[in-house]
Amino acid sequence: MRRIRLTVAYDGTEFHGWQIQPGQETVQGWLARVASGLEGAHVDLQGSGRTDAGVHAVGQVAALSIRNPIPVDNFVRAMNRLLPTSIRIMDACEVHPHFHPRFDALRKTYEYRIYRAAVCPPMRRLYVCHHPYPLDEAMMQECAALIEGEHDFSAFAAADEKDDLGRSKVRRIFSSRYRREGDELVYEVCGSGFLKHMVRFLAGTLLETGKGNLSPAAIRARLQPDFPDKAGPSLPSCGLCLMKVEYD
């Protein structure tokens, strides 16, 4: 049995997220079906994490095990020939048999893009959140830095079916910052892991600081485990992209 690691890019607009769901078109569902067809048997394919409906990726990581002796390069070409054009395997390699794309991941990096000009070009509308109104970008940068470190992000997480398991919502954020790319304000955040909708809640909360609705003290309060409410609002999924997943 061979273990294959895949780097996957996708336009999430037409998919109901990453995770397989009955009766829904998902990225994981497409990859598993195509791989199973090439293998001639069921293939269990895991990802580094779930992305929501409408979220994009340029560096999602997945892994599968197959018996097929096909060379890796040929396997990638065969997969890409059968996948929809909105999903592409960008790279693949053989790894040790116990590699797991989620449990072995050390860091994940996401970007959230806000389009700042008065008119959003139609070609960008599916990949940004349009906000042409005044923002204090220096304040957003200051507050973004407060996210760095180890915190309880319960206030920044949507309800999850796994909440009943009582798992910790403490995560470590290695970097949290903004940069300008022309008319786009890009929020880049790198962490050990992320909760459901967490990056969209972070981006929405930091947008409120730019509007003047929240202060740095309010951000600190939302990072406390006893904060009584939810942070946010959560911004639309279209502006979010999984950039890369890093391993040892």
State the catalytic residues.
52
Query: Residue 200: CB partners within 8 Å, gap ≥ 6?
Result: 52, 112, 234, 235, 236, 237, 240
Cα separations in angstroms, 32 against 6, 77, 103, 142: 12, 15, 19, 42
Query: Residue 88: CB partners within 8 Å, gap ≥ 6?
Result: 8, 9, 10, 80
Rg of the chain, C-alpha, whole Å: 19
Q: Provide the token pair at 184.
A: 């786009």
Q: Hey, what amino acid is at 125?
A: R
